[in-house]
Amino acid sequence: MSLNITMARPTTDGTLTFRDVPPGVDASAGGESTRQWLYSSQIVRDLGAVYLPRLADDRLVVPPEETVAFLRECARVLAELPAVPAAPPPTSRPTSSTSNAA
């Protein structure tokens, strides 16, 4: 499963009208594991992020009036990206090992 960015506009009745992604724009925000290890990581929280950590548990809806604050948060995290640890290795199933020792 992948994490994607979807643009939507709120309507007067409280629903959302979803917009098509413009041609040539990549709407990918990483794999589903990115939600857990990056967006909700302590280092991202230590950078003062309040929007991105919400992705750990739910979808993120940024109201139009908060878009600038969200973009600033993204820029802050991107600026510190070299300090963010690499993704942990995928969880693997334990394997049983047998020993041939006598």
Tokens 């750990």 identify what position? 56
The phi, psi pair for 9, rounded to 5°, reads -120, 130
- The more confidently predicted of residues 68 and 30 is 68
Q: pLDDT tens-digit profile of 60-85?
A: 888 889 999 999 998 998 898 887 76
The pTM for the full model equals: 0.66
* 76: DSSP letter: H
- The more confidently predicted of residues 7 and 90 is 7
